Structure 1
């Protein structure tokens, strides 16, 4: 499977990776959730070349993950804001941060804490069933073919 063809795969993960699957896009999204919005801020924080940054931002805008919003008219300057579609990536990034906190942190522990505004407590993300609210993990889920797999002529392997 070629990188340029990921968005053509009958797999939601592959299609998602085609949009956000490189390190720079994920770090840009991280910074968006931390309130970074302007090109020069991304460039300074990430140490990324202007060409790569422009390319990744363009892709995120084209896929409606970010939108450009003018903040100055003369000269015209725009900042990047998360769309509703972009905001829906928050649980994905939180899951990755949680994994990193558990498996990649040094002896000092997690570099940041996520505080739930509602109760004021430090929190960790939990995946729950949308139907019953019970926490779930990989062993609690069975995969079945859906219409997208069937029309592709390939069925996923299920355990």
Structure 2
């Protein structure tokens, strides 16, 4: 069961979490990013119940992270594809994988899935980069700052960061 909506909260993180919905939806997005697109393939990969899968697919479609396309008639069958917005959310999933791999969350056998540059075959990782120079920035050198959409609660949170 999904929790209460974050709608109206001045927080981009809450907005993405609201659009995704829950952990099942994350796994569905993972599978879509790996090329699975058919309902039964998504069900087999996740082990999710029919009711939950149908609900999550509908939620992801309503939030424009995926689109449903008919590929067969009589009976009607659909495939599910990531939208541009959905492909951007895959960065969150890759970040989760990167942290899970670093800390061996699934065990010591090594990463269950690797991401590589298809042109070089070398592993890739997510990093913070300076918007102008494209230089890598260390996490300890990143500081949050109120943006144009900040409300009083965001500004209050930032006062706590400044006190660290």
- For residue 121 of structure 1, what is the aligned residue in structure 2? 122
TM value normalised by structure 2: 0.87
Cα offsets for 1:80-113 (capped at 9, x unmatched): 0000111111221111111000111422211122
Instruction: Give the Cα–Cα distance (whole angstroms) in 1 for the partners of residues 3 and 152 of structure 2.
Output: 21
Could you tell me which residue of structure 1 aligns to residue 47 of structure 2?
A: 47
Structure 1 pair 122–146 and aligned structure 2 pair: CA distance change class (3 A): closer
When residues 45 and 105 of structure 1 are mapped into structure 2, their CA distance, relative to the original with a 3 A threshold, is closer
Per-residue CA shift, 1:52-101, capped at 9, x if unaligned? 11111101001110000111122221110000111111221111111000
Determine helix, strand or coil for the equivalent of 2:7: helix
Distance in 2 (CA, whole Å) between partners of 1:77 and 1:24 is: 22
Query: In the alignment, is the contact (CA less than 8 A) between 1:3 and 1:18 conserved in 2?
Result: no
Q: TM-score, normalised by structure 1?
A: 0.89
Q: Aligned to 2:132, what secondary structure does the other structure show? A: coil
Per the alignment, residue 28 of structure 1 pairs with 28
Question: Aligned-pair RMSD on alpha carbons?
Answer: 1.8
**How far does the alpha carbon of each residue in 1:26-46 deviate from its partner, in whole angstroms, 9 at most, with x for none?**
100110111111111111211
Q: Sort the Cα spacing of 1:123 and 1:4 in 2 relative to 1 into closer, same or farther, 3 A.
A: same
Larger relative contact order (Cα-Cα within 8 Å, sequence gap ≥ 6): 2
